[in-house]
Structure 1
Amino acid sequence: MSALADLPPLRAVIARHGLAARKALGQNFILDLNLTRRIARTAGDLSGADVFEVGPGPGGLTRGLLMEGARHVLAVEKDPRCLHALEEIAAAAPGRLTVLQGDALEIDPRDHLTPPIRIVANLPYNVGTELLVRWLTPPVWPPAWESLTLMFQREVADRIVAEPGSKAYGRLAVLAQWRCDARIAFTLPPAAFTPPPKVASAVVHLEALPAPRFPAPAEALQRLTAAAFNQRRKMLRAALKGLAPDIEDRLAEAGIAPTARAETVPLEKFCALARALAR
């Protein structure tokens, strides 16, 4: 711990390595180590887990994860400018940090980490939602990871935990709540970041369930929710007519009124409709 605590302040690291955040990479850094350690603690006891971190930047959250006892951290960074700063952290925590330069969309953490695996990240805004959907829709469930502790724009966080009938309720809510317990752990104002984004952010914690809440073919549910919420203002009989010629019969079988709109349909009935469509 002492070697990690002796590392220079993050502002000094950024200045020395020329790590001004780049908008094109969706970078917004958290420099307050009290905050990064709080994010790490939200992920639970890390002493017996390996952690996959996406977009570590200068390593604020990376330090927090290691200080909070993570067994091993795999940090994947696309920006080559950040590698030297991350290597300095690796030297202060021998054998506990692996740094890879690359695109997180193309890297499977199972190739580098030993279960149990937890994913913890201040996700780059430009790929955060895509990564979340990928993690929620693996071909086999339970997934390789036990939990996700992720920073999002507050608007995206609200969509993950939204209830039916709310404006935020949509595909993310269905996919997340089908297979996970999801909650917003805490929010952060723009001033917590460098540079400050235009909106507030929130840390969302998702615990993988051993099995989905309701039975449904995964591919059918993904296709169904994409079609339903892509035209959320339309009645479902119109929004889903491309999925089956007898869509009204399938809706009736699932107990959903053909005139209903996607934002009013609870998770259980989406799963029932996915089963009807798969048949």
Structure 2
Amino acid sequence: MAQIDPLPPLRDVIATHGLSARKSLGQNFLLDLNLTARIARVAGDLSGSDILEVGPGPGGLTRGLLAEGARRVLAVEKDPRCLPALAEIAAAYPGQLEVIEGDALDVDALAHLTPPIRIAANLPYNVGTELLVRWLTPKEWPPVWSSMTLMFQKEVAERIVAAPGSKAYGRLALLAQWRADAHIALHLPPEAFTPPPKVSSAVVHLTALPKARFEADAAVLNRVVAAGFNQRRKMLRSALKGIAPDIEDRLIAAGLKPTDRAEQVPLEGFCALARAVAAA
């Protein structure tokens, strides 16, 4: 296997620093540096961008991002055991890697970066969805990030790109597709990781749109979508009865059938409903 930098292979790094993956931290390490460089290339031209990486672990993707020319990488790592390995990478790329020890859910890491900003991460399984929702729902749009290249469990990746009428279609698809272009760029089998997880993984690339596809108030849209999919087998008039007393009228005003179910409603329909609810 060709080396992407002069640093030791990741298996040696893990052995040297005793970095056994911890299930409690959602860790599954990606050891093939050619594969991590490939993921970095999915993120696009990195030479003029600051990159936020969450959960770098022993630094496989970190090294891929730096080898592919990232201007600067800010890595947020919760596991203190990984810090010495990341320090070795920082020494090999002077001034290009900064590591913050902490929980990504508690750290406003994007505030430490200079635009243009991209997010690239093999997200820990236990916080990946929550982080994605946060990045998709900032107070102002467009966001500070221009693109996100994120690894998820395959099932979560499919939910992000799902189309109406499919079992995977739901709140995650609507939030992602309302304000971004999203597609699955890579599929990875369990054996690509150490230890191998029980599920396959996939890399999703999201590009922020300059403005949302359809007009809607973010808070109202989120409330309507959440209510609709919390009881996805119910008709809309039943699932959304807590949203407004005259919800049937609001549904009709939005061009929707009260007897439809949430999984049948496209993004444009939910946005129209959010506008109708807000107007009422």
Q: Secondary structure at the match of 1:105?
A: coil
Q: Is the 8 A contact 2:4 2:33 kept in 1?
A: no
Query: For residue 245 of structure 1, what is the aligned residue in structure 2?
Result: 245
Identity %: 76
Which residue identity lines up with residue 104 of structure 1 in the other structure? Answer: A
Alignment RMSD (CA, Å): 1.0
TM-fit CA distance, 1:103: 0.8
Query: What is the SS of the residue equivalent to 1:69?
Result: coil
Q: Which runs of 5+ in 2 are unaligned?
A: none
Match of 2:230?
Answer: 230
Q: Which amino acid aligns with 2:204?
A: V
Deviation at 1:112, TM superposition (A): 1.3
Letter in 1 for 2:27: Q
In the alignment, what sits opposite 2:186? 186
Stretches of structure 1 lacking an aligned partner (at least 5 in a row): none
Task: Give runs of ≥4 in structure 1 deviating > 3 Å.
Answer: none
* Secondary structure, counterpart of 1:5 in structure 2: coil
Alignment map for 1:35-50 (pairs within 5 Å)? 35-50=35-50
- Superposition pairs for residues 125-274 of structure 1, below 5 Å? 125-274=125-274
- Do the aligned residues in 2 keep the contact of 1:4 with 1:93 (CA within 8 Å)? no
Aligned residue type for 1:199: V
Aligned residue pairs total: 277
d(CA) in 2 for partners of 1:4, 1:200: 25
Following superposition, the deviation at residue 16 of structure 1 comes to: 1.1
Q: How does 1:7-26 map to 2 (within 5 A)?
A: 7-26=7-26
Deviation, structure 1 residue 4:
7.1
Secondary structure class of the residue paired with 2:219? helix
Give the distance between the partners of 1:114 and 1:123, measured in 2 at CA: 22
Counterpart residue number, 1:97: 97
The Cα offsets for residues 160-213 of structure 1, whole Å up to 9 and x where unpaired, read as 000001111000000000000000001000000000011110000000000000
Q: Deviations over 1:103-125 (max 9, x none)?
A: 11122233211000000000000
Matched-pair contact (CA < 8 Å) for 1:122–1:150? yes
Structure 2 letter corresponding to 1:52: L
d(CA) in 1 for partners of 2:28, 2:109? 23
Distance 1:222 1:17 in 2: 44
Moved more, 5-14 or 123-132: 5-14
Distance in 1 between the 2:5 and 2:251 partners?
Answer: 59
Letter of the aligned partner of 2:41 in structure 1?
Answer: R
Which residue in the other structure is 2:53 paired with?
A: 53
What is the CA–CA distance in structure 2 between the aligned matches of 1:277 and 1:27, rounded to whole Å? 42
CA contact (8 A) 1:4 1:89 kept: no
How does the TM-score come out when normalised to structure 1?
0.98
2:45 counterpart letter in structure 1: D
Separation in structure 1 between the aligned mates of residue 103 and residue 278 of structure 2, nearest angstrom: 34
Confirm or deny that 1:276 pairs with 2:255. no
For normalisation by structure 2, the TM-score amounts to 0.98
| CA–CA distance in structure 1, aligned partners of residues 204 and 5 of structure 2 | 27
